[in-house]
């Protein structure tokens, strides 16, 4: 480029020099014409003097000295004239040769200037192309530098996130240890409650059997009295009435016993339903534990690879996948913590309910009133809920077969309790309808674990879920313009760029779950200048993110 500029300057200087030489040629021509005109005027003056001299010589007869002087002057004049003619001829020849040489040089310079002008035009076109390519290369260089800088920042954030994941795993293990201790204490409390429940049921069954036997003995005594006093009519009628009353009381006792059997059967059906729910929960816990093992092994492998070498080189796709898995692990950790908090709150409610009804049971046992005894069905539901809570809290310490076995043993214990409850003919006490609340809590917890387990499904299941969750307008292939028009619907302020909240609403409309960290990930992936918005020149990055992370099929035509 500099060489072309130098050549162009040389060509311009040569053109200026040629113009100056043309001007000098014109000046020399003017001088030549003036010299020729001067020579002609001198020659004419010399001729006029000769004529005057001839006339003077005719008129006067000069002396010999003057004649010689005149002759000398004429000779000198002739010599001067010849010298002038020779000088003029030489000057003319020299000027002519100089002019011809200068004309040839000017023609050569002109031809060179024409060639250089053509070359200059070509070089100008090449210069424009080179400048355009240079601008594009500068833009690419700037983008590559920004990509390298963002990659370095991402590597730094990745190491920081790896440390955070490690700390989260350590916190989770400590929380699991605390939960194991809490589960062991809950187990001991449940065993104590179960033993007290069995003793109370046995005592109540003994009281019920003794009351039935006493009623039968009274009935036999009354019949004997009726047989002994058949003579007296009034006493016979009274005995008959007493016998009828005793029979009515026996029938009432049988009806109550029948009702107690029906209630026990209902409790048995509820226990089977609870067992099925517990089995489903155990299967979900299996999936959650498998995913926890996978996450732990992945974190361990990443830690080993980090310890093996100080720096790890990852591609953009691998880093994108690892970042997505880390974000999902954070979401799952947050969900796990919320579930554990809910379980702790439920356990506290269970303890409060159990303490309240324990006081009522003791008060009823002291008063000896059989009609105000606590509801055995509520106790059965509470025990089933407590056992299921223990199973969920104990998911990180025991394997799935042990959980299944424990749930089966709990269910068998509840079945034996219901068999024992069949012998009771006491009426049900009016307690608050807490069974529906426990069932609602169980349903909420089951749905939570199902949502957590759904995130750990294989890739084909997750892709199927994504295809099912995609609206009908986004199914199949779509062009870039269609994708842009679809995103414009979420541009609330109509400024032609997408913010994080707008991208979050767009992702929520097609994916629902994990829209928060996906929008954050999309802004971080697509925002090259770091202003928090996706501009029009950054739209290609957003298209790439939508294809990789959201599973959309976007074509470029």
pLDDT at 557: 44
More confident residue, 162 or 64: 162
Tens-place pLDDT, residues 39-71: 788 778 878 877 877 777 666 655 566 677 777
Q: Around 401, how many Cα atoms within 13 Å sit in the side-chain half-sphere?
A: 0
Judged against a pLDDT cut of 70, whether residue 117 lies above it is answered with yes
Over residues 491-541, the pLDDT tens digits come to: 777 777 777 677 777 776 665 444 555 666 666 777 777 777 777 777 777
Query: Rounded distance, CA 106 to CA 112, Å?
Result: 10
- Pull the structure tokens for residue 382: 């509470």
pLDDT at 70: 75
**With contact defined as beta carbons under 8 Å apart, do 520 and 500 qualify?**
yes
Q: Please list the helix, strand and coil fractions of the chain in percent, rounded to the nearest 5, in that order.
A: 85, 0, 15
Q: Give per-residue pLDDT as tens, 172-183.
A: 677 677 766 766
Q: What is the pLDDT of residues 412-467, one digit of tens each?
A: 444 444 434 333 333 333 333 334 444 445 555 555 555 554 444 443 334 333 33
Residue-level pLDDT at 384: 42
Among 209-218, 284-293, 321-330, 472-481, the range scoring the smallest mean pLDDT is 472-481
Strands 477-479 and 553-555, sheet pairing: parallel
More confident position, 133 or 469: 133
H or E stretch including 97?
Answer: helix 64-228
């Amino acid at each position: 480029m500099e060489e072309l500029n130098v050549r162009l300057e040389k060509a311009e200087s040569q053109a200026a020099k040629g113009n100056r030489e043309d001007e000098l040629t014109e000046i020399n021509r003017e001088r030549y014409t003036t010299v020729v005109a001067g020579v002609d005027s001198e020659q004419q003056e010399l001729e006029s003097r000769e004529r005057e001299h001839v006339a003077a010589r005719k008129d006067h007869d000069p002396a010999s000295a003057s004649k010689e002087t005149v002759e000398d002057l004429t000779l000198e004049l002739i010599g001067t004239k010849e010298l002038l003619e020779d000088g003029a001829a030489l000057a003319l020849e020299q000027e002519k040769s100089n002019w011809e040489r200068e004309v040839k040089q000017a023609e050569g310079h002109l031809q060179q200037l024409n060639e250089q002008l053509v070359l200059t035009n070509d070089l100008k076109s090449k210069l424009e192309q080179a400048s355009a390519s240079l601008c594009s290369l500068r833009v690419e260089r700037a983008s590559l530098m920004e990509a390298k800088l963002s990659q370095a920042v991402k590597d730094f954030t990745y190491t920081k996130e790896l440390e955070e994941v490690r700390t989260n795993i350590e916190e989770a293990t400590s929380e699991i240890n605390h939960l194991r201790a809490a589960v062991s204490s809950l187990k001991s409390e449940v065993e104590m409650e179960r033993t007290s429940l069995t003793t109370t049921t046995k005592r109540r069954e003994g009281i019920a059997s003794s009351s039935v036997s006493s009623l039968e003995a009274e009935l036999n005594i009354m019949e004997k009295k009726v047989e002994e006093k058949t003579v007296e009519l009034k006493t016979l009628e009274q005995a008959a009435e007493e016998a009828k009353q005793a029979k009515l009381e026996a029938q009432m006792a049988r009806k109550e016993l029948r009702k107690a059997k029906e209630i026990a059967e209902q409790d048995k059906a509820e226990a089977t339903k609870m067992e099925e729910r517990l089995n489903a929960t155990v299967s979900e816990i299996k999936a959650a534990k498998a995913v926890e093992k996978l996450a732990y092994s992945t974190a361990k492998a990443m830690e080993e690879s980090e310890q093996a070498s100080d720096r790890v080189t990852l591609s953009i796709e691998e880093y994108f996948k690892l970042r997505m898995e880390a974000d999902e692990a954070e979401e799952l950790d947050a969900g796990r913590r919320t579930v554990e908090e809910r379980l702790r709150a439920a356990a506290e409610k269970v303890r409060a309910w159990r303490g309240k009804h324990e006081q009522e049971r003791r008060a009823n046992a002291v008063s000896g009133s059989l009609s105000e005894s606590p509801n055995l069905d509520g106790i059965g539901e509470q025990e089933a809920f407590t056992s299921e809570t223990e199973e969920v809290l104990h998911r990180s310490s025991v394997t799935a077969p042990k959980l299944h076995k424990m749930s089966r043993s709990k269910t068998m214990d509840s079945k034996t309790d219901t068999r024992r409850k069949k012998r009771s003919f006491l009426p049900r006490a009016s307690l608050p309808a807490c069974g529906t609340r426990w069932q609602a809590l169980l349903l909420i917890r089951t749905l939570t674990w199902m949502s957590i387990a759904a995130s750990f499904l294989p890739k084909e299941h997750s892709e199927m879920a994504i295809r099912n969750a995609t609206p009908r307008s986004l199914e199949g292939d779509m062009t870039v313009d269609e994708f842009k028009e679809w995103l414009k619907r979420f541009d609330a302020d109509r400024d032609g760029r997408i913010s994080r909240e707008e991208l979050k609403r767009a992702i929520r409309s097609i994916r629902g779950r994990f829209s928060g960290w996906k929008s954050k990930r999309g802004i971080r992936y697509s925002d090259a200048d770091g202003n928090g918005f996706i501009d029009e020149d950054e739209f290609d990055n957003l298209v790439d993110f939508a294809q990789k992370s959201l599973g959309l099929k976007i074509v470029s035509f």
